[in-house]
Amino acid sequence: MISGFDLDDFVNRVLAEDLGASGDVTSAATISADARFAAKLEAREPIVVAGLDIAAAFFEDLDPDAEIERLVRDGDHAETGAVLMRLNGNARAMLAAERSALNTLQHLSGIATLTRCYVDSIAGTGATLLDTRKTIPGLRALEKYAALMGGAQNHRMRLDDGVLIKDNHVAVAGGVAAAVRSAKAAGTGLEVQVEVDSIDQIEEALEAGADRLLLDNMDVPTLRRAVDLVGGRVPLEASGGVKLETIRAIAGTGVDYISVGRITQSAPAVDIGMDYALQ
């Protein structure tokens, strides 16, 4: 389902964290072992859905016979009041899985929803939104999947799937050109992208063989100058402090990509509830 993601392991770890050694003692004390529970998962605000199958996996893990009906798909927009999923299963199992399922679905849908806002803001400009590695440790595959469902394109997943020379690499290597030449000579087979934070570094990076430039924390007039100077020789990515209020203007400079850490790092969870439903 998601590359590099072990669903069974994730479900087991999250349920173990929530159930503890004795399980859901409240449900065990108040509900008979054979009681049934029918419910619906409902959006309580407009959202973009992400993680629905993962949420379902928590219920299915605790009750393999549960009846689960998915009414939307990941990537769909859902308005307030939209029913995302209906389920019917053992009451103790459904209630024990509720918080793990909702936490995951709310978090991932929050990322997808915020991502879609950014994507919509640059629609028609030709620029592509990228995510970053600014993710919660252990949740990168899920959070980048959610960004993808929101309409972003995934950037590096790990440190081994792309060469990105940043300011600290440049400082240690002795300059932009030295860092780029070393990276090209390493023969990784990967394109070499280098971060530049001033116009003066651009020609130096290109002459050394950079395949792509990351324009770091440049204002809109400087980004326009950079785009004109490069003249389409390599793809350009704008990054650093990008906000929903500023991304349209950044896209209008002519850069090819805009990377935004906020979509994974700062996305608020959306409001999704699970309520008892009469059959």
Backbone torsions φ then ψ of 215, nearest 5 degrees: -90, 105
Which of 178, 173, 234, 170 lies closest to 198 in space, CA to CA? 170
In what side-by-side order are the strands of the sheet with 236-239? 128-130, 257-259, 236-239, 212-216, 192-196, 163-165
Q: Is 134 a catalytic residue?
A: yes
| Burial (0-12, 13-18, 19+ Cβ within 10 Å), 222 | middle
195 in active site: yes
Q: Dihedral angle at the C-alpha atoms of 225, 227, 229, 235, nearest 10 degrees?
A: 150
Marked catalytic residue, from 86, 166, 225, 248: 166
Kindly name the residue from 24, 131, 216, 256 that is annotated as catalytic.
Answer: 216
**Residue 258 and residue 201: Cα distance in Å, rounded?**
19
Q: Based on the residue annotation, tell me whether 40 is a catalytic residue of this protein.
A: no
The Cα 45–Cα 271 span in angstroms is 6
Catalytic residue chosen out of the listed positions 40, 70, 99, 181: 99
Rounded alpha-carbon distances, angstroms, from residue 20 to 12, 13, 16, 32, 180? 12, 11, 6, 21, 50
Please tell me which residue in 143, 195, 237, 256 is annotated as part of the active site.
Answer: 195
Q: How far apart are CA 203 and CA 234, in angstroms?
A: 11
H helix runs in 208-276, sequence order: 220-230, 247-251, 262-265
Contacts of 266 (CB under 8 A, 6+ apart): 114
Backbone angles phi, psi at 7, to 5 degrees: -60, -45
Kindly state the helix (H) or strand (E) to which residue 41 belongs, with its residue range.
strand 36-43
Catalytic residues: 99, 134, 166, 195, 216
